[in-house]
Amino acid sequence: MKPRIYIARDLPEPVAAYLEEHGECRYWQGPEDITEERLAKEIGDAEGLLVTGTPIGQAVLEAGSRLRVISNLSAGYNNLNLQALKERKLVATHTPYVLDETVADLAMALLLAAARRVTALDRLVKEGGWVRGMDAELYGLDVHHKRLGIIGMGRIGEAVARRAALGFEMDVVYYNRRRKPEAEERYGLRYCSMDELLATSDYVILMTPLTPETKHLMGKAQFERMKNNAIFVNASRGENVDEAALIQALQQGQIAGAGLDVYEREPIPADHPLLQMDHVVTLPHIGSATAETRLNMAFAAARNLVHALTGQAPVQIVPELQQL
């Protein structure tokens, strides 16, 4: 008998066909993303669950008494209650690796757009504000040969460093929980303290996962430490930044601008102060959002689910649960 699978999000047709081949599938049919409360009512006798972003806590786990595997279609997994999963000895998987290069592209795009004022100047042209003779009003900031500080040197951080060091000949420094000597040698990086990184970098990119230790890692003291002509980019998680402190730093000219793909509250409210600032580039959490990457992620999540249910390898288990 095929294992029973509940799929809590839309999937590309080839991925759905793969899961149908290997399991008895039921699907969330609602017009909006499924909530934790609704998922608890829907889960039924499913042995496997494929989900993106929906919190998976006690309510879902108690209702899904036959659950064996939860496949998170995301590299991050802060939506999972890891302690509750450990207590039940449940397998949970995620989709690292396949999105690294795409997210690194997006981080560099934010940096370049904020530095050269791409979105503000695009609006200027489209709204008819561009007149002959404009010069200094259009100035941005150089990127090439400037110092980039990367906070969080995981796989995506390394991909960003490679683009910056080799493509733009930037002087790249980084701060991380542990040093990466091989990356230092390969790309000419230099490890430094976070204080030095903030104080000396022309651009700062935050690329850490969201953990209790990284929540509000960038706050008032950190923004005050940055150069007033520096630009801050966040392509990690919104809660890693104290948004009120960021707004204050931008309003008071403590930093020159920002490029953001993530926010403390998503979707960001239409009246949010960050949306009123021309020196801030705001994107709708699209780090991995290309058709090719999302298809690869969906297949990775589906394979994780099927392999875990049928005892095959490989399975990309979230690190904290690998010893179960």
pLDDT of the residue at 196: 98
pLDDT digits (tens, 9 = 90+) for 120-129: 999 999 999 9
User: Which candidate in 20, 62, 169, 266 is catalytic?
Assistant: 266
pTM, two decimals, is 0.92
Assess whether 162 carries a catalytic annotation.
no
Assess whether 145 carries a catalytic annotation.
no
pLDDT of the residue at 322: 83
pLDDT of the residue at 315: 94
pLDDT digits (tens, 9 = 90+) for 24-71: 999 999 889 999 999 999 999 999 999 999 999 999 999 999 999 999
Rounded to whole angstroms, how far apart are CA atoms 147 and 226? 12
Domains of the chain: 4-98+291-321 (3.40.50.720), 100-282 (3.40.50.720)
User: Which candidate in 147, 237, 294, 303 is catalytic?
Assistant: 237
Count CB atoms within 10 A of the CB of residue 224: 15
Of the candidates 189, 235, 198, 239, the one whose C-alpha atom is nearest the C-alpha of residue 217 is 239
Please tell me whether the peptide bond between 267 and the residue prior to it is cis, using omega within 30 degrees of 0.
yes
User: Which candidate in 4, 184, 285, 320 is catalytic?
Assistant: 285
48 neighbors 72 (Cβ within 8 angstroms): no
Q: Mean pLDDT, consecutive 10-residue segments, the chain of 324 residues?
A: 95 97 95 94 97 95 96 94 94 96 98 98 96 93 98 97 98 97 97 98 97 96 98 98 98 98 96 98 97 97 97 93 74
Strand ranges inside 21-62, DSSP E = 24-27, 48-51
In the block, tokens 């809590």 appear at 8
Listing DSSP states for 134-164 in one string gives: --GGG-----TT-EEEEE--SHHHHHHHHII
Assess whether 266 carries a catalytic annotation.
yes
Residue 202 vs residues 196, 226, 298: alpha-carbon distances, Å: 12, 8, 37
